[in-house]
Amino acid sequence: GQNIDQPTEMTATEGAIVQINCTYQTSGFNGLFWYQQHAGEAPTFLSYNVLDGLEEKGRFSSFLSRSKGYSYLLLKELQMKDSASYLCAVRYDGGYNNNDMRFGAGTRLTVKP
C-alpha cells in the first residue's frame, strides 16, 4: 500500500506558526500536494512539491524530503480562517499519465483566539 500518515488534529493560536507533518511510502513517488478543505466544502490546492526543499507561497510553505518520505506544511501568522482540514496527497506511478493520487485522512487544524 501507500499509507499516507498525518496527525488527526492540531490546535494553534491566532498569529502563531504551525507545522503539519506528512509521511508516505516512497516507492513509486511522483509528486506531493497539499490541499485545504473547510468543513462542508471542496478541497482547494495549496502547494506542490516534487523536488527536495522548501516551496514558499505567502504565509504557506511546504517542504519535501524524498529520501525520508516526509513533507510538512508550514502556516505562518495564523488567522481564524485557517481553521480547516489540511490534506496531504501523493501521486504515485501508475494509472493514466501516472495519475494514481492517494490522499491522507487530513489534519484538522483549529485556530483559537
Partner 1 sequence: DTAVSQTPKYLVTQMGNDKSIKCEQNLGHDTMYWYKQDSKKFLKIMFSYNNKELIINETVPNRFSPKSPDKAHLNLHINSLELGDSAVYFCASSQVGLSYEQYFGPGTRLTVT
Of 11-19, 58-66, 71-79, 91-99, the window that binds partner 1 (rule: CB under 8 A) is 91-99
The count of residues interacting with partner 1 (CB under 8 A) is: 25
Of 18-26, 38-46, 58-66, 67-75, the window that binds partner 1 (rule: CB under 8 A) is 38-46
96 in contact with partner 1 (CB under 8 A) = yes
| CB of 15 or CB of 53, closer to partner 1 | 53
Alpha-carbon distance of 39 to 54, in angstroms, equals 28
Let me know: does 77 contact 18? Beta carbons within 8 Å: no
- Using CB under 8 A as the binding rule, the residues of this chain from 45 to 84 that contact partner 1 are 45, 48, 50
Residues in Cβ contact with 46 at an 8 Å cutoff, skipping those fewer than 6 apart = 33, 34, 35, 36, 57, 60, 62, 73, 86
Which residue, among 28, 2, 7, has the nearest Cα to 85 in the 3D structure?
A: 7
| CB of 52 or CB of 77, closer to partner 1 | 52
Residues in Cβ contact with 84 at an 8 Å cutoff, skipping those fewer than 6 apart = 36, 37, 38, 39, 108, 109
Binding site for partner 1 (CB under 8 A): 30-31, 33, 41-45, 48, 50, 85, 87, 89, 91, 95-103, 105-106
